[in-house]
Amino acid sequence: MAKPMDQITWRELEVGAVVVEVGNAMEYETGSWRSERPVVNREQCIKCGVCWLFCPDVCIVRAPEGHFEANLTYCKGCGICAKECPVGCITMISEEE
């Protein structure tokens, strides 16, 4: 776990402020930005992976049952997956509901 920036002193930084842990941005959970969440109708999903390919936040994952769904820890709720799904089986639902 990387310490939050405001708790890091200059002594703890690597030379050149190099970040040595690859891909540690995963510690920052962008799912809290979301106001709508994509919900997949598993019966209709043809498991094509189009939603996965177009997600700018790399957060569509393949479930063990073969269909694809959003990882809500990171999903920002942009709605691209719902718009691009060729069979229209993703619905955006308001987080307030």
Contact residues for another protein, defined by CB under 8 A: 2-3, 5, 8, 13, 17, 19, 21-30, 33, 46-50, 52-59, 71, 73-74, 76-80, 82-84, 86, 92
Report CA-CA distances (Å) from 44 to 21, 60, 68, 92, 96: 40, 17, 11, 15, 25
Q: Work out how close the CB of 36 gets to ligand SF4 at its nearest, in angstroms, rounded to a whole number.
A: 7
**Which partner, ligand SF4, another protein, none, binds residue 89 by CB below 5 to 8 Å per kind?**
ligand SF4
Residues lying near ligand SF4 in the complex (CB under 6 A): 38, 40, 45-51, 55, 57, 59-60, 67-68, 70, 75-81, 85, 87, 89-90
The answer to whether the Cα torsion of 64, 93, 88, 75 is positive or negative is: negative
**Which partner, ligand SF4, another protein, none, binds residue 60 by CB below 5 to 8 Å per kind?**
ligand SF4
Ramachandran quadrant class, 66 (left: phi over 0; alpha: psi -120 to 50; beta: rest): left
Please tell me the distance from the alpha carbon of residue 48 to that of residue 57, in angstroms, as a whole number.
18
Tokens read off for 81: 């997956």
**Which partner, ligand SF4, another protein, none, binds residue 64 by CB below 5 to 8 Å per kind?**
none
